[in-house]
Amino acid sequence: MKAEKRNAGIELLKICSMYMIVTMHVMGANQADAIHLTRNELWYIALHPVFNCAVDVFALISGYVQYKSQNKVKSVLYRYGVVWFYSVVITFGVWFYEHEAVTVSDRIYAFFPLLSARYWYYTAYMGMSLFASYLKRFVSGSSKNEDKILLCKIIVVSTILPFLKDYGIGMKDGFSMWWLLCLYMIGLYLAKYEKEVIRRKAVIYIGGGISLVLISVTELLIGLLVQHALISENYRGLFDKYNSPFLLFYSIALFLLFMQITFCARTYRVVIPLASSTFSVYLIHTNTAFHKLFIADRFTFINDREPAGMFAMLLLISFILYIACTFLDLIRKKVFALSGYDFLVERVLNVTGTIGAKVFDYYDLERK
């Protein structure tokens, strides 16, 4: 019954967003080191914002989905088990295959994926989870006027001020727990005022489209100016950061577009299982050892092609990698099912459930 309550468009957006993340990582790890920007690199700079919204979109989805569902400690514990499994199994699997690809520190840190921040998004997400229920309860009980004021403050403090100057706010270009918290809050508001947002979708689509074009054009111009030594290298990515107000607007527009997509029952049954593996796709392909052995500098040959051929190869390689990671996750799910991992999680919760619930503030929610 819970699966039927899922928004199919949002689940599809999770798949597309993770595919965009894989594509960016493949391209970023195989760019040619050149003094002068090539045609391919100029095209990449211009098209990069189309994909770069994916991280912001995932955080928006977290807020949107959790506003409509019940937080559970079990999901937090289960997710950590998945993270630990991939961190250890992939790291040592690569080490057995090629010792030189995995350092001693890699093997040690593999056992502590959260504390060692091996996956920056997951570490930031766990930090965000400590405040998630408080924020959800606040948004659920706040007035429309309070929401407007707080939303304006969030946008000004998290996107506009850091965009103008580094005021020590701690956004770190969006690579931080604080930025995920801001996106989580915006996701909550998108869920709370869903009908009003949909009524204004035309304005949001236009604004998102203009923002995307603005980012692409300005980043391309900045790249050309940097190439001719007219401005500093530090200006690159100014409009394309995760916490850029323009990228945020584009992300919201894309989110709204997918939110309204519906599917027939047959397509729905395909989308939901694929969407459930998106987090694992992230864990597998961003694993340090896996990335070093199978992604970094493995596909530099695509840079020798014309722009159209280069991007076609890039999308194909990313698609194959995505499917491979999804297949590996199917194996992981079978291993967890056969090993009784769900039962283990339940036993752990019986012992520490109250403590964990209080840490993540889920206790009152689960009792209701």
Which pLDDT band, with edges at 50, 70 and 90, does 4 fall under? Answer: very low
pTM of the model: 0.88
Residue 366: inside a domain, yes or no?
A: no
Residue 368: inside a domain, yes or no?
A: no
Q: Report the sign of the C-alpha dihedral through residues 298, 83, 330, 282, in that order.
A: negative
Please give the tally of structural domains in the chain: 1
Position 356 scores a pLDDT of 57
* Tens digits of residue pLDDT in 230-240: 776 666 666 88
Higher pLDDT, 61 or 78: 61
d(CA 338, CA 336): 6
Share of the chain above pLDDT 70, in %: 87
Residue 365: inside a domain, yes or no?
A: no
Which pLDDT band, with edges at 50, 70 and 90, does 364 fall under? Answer: very low
Residue 367: inside a domain, yes or no?
A: no
Q: Average pLDDT for residues 10-18, to the nearest whole number?
A: 94
- When the pLDDT of each residue in the chain is averaged and rounded to a whole number, the result is 84
Which pLDDT band, with edges at 50, 70 and 90, does 166 fall under? Answer: low
What tokens were used for 265?
Answer: 């029952």
Q: Average pLDDT for residues 188-199, to the nearest whole number?
A: 92
Residue 17: inside a domain, yes or no?
A: yes
Higher pLDDT, 293 or 170: 293
d(CA 339, CA 65): 29
What tokens were used for 76?
Answer: 């937090």
Lowest average pLDDT, out of 72-81, 120-129, 232-241, goes to: 232-241
Output 317-321 pairs: Cβ under 8 A, ≥24 positions apart.
317/26, 318/19, 318/22, 318/23, 318/26, 319/19, 321/22, 321/26, 321/285, 321/294, 321/295
Higher pLDDT, 303 or 246: 246
Lowest average pLDDT, out of 36-40, 73-77, 357-361, goes to: 357-361
Q: Does the structure show a pLDDT above 70 at 299?
A: yes
Position 355 scores a pLDDT of 57
| Domain boundaries, position 199 | 3-360
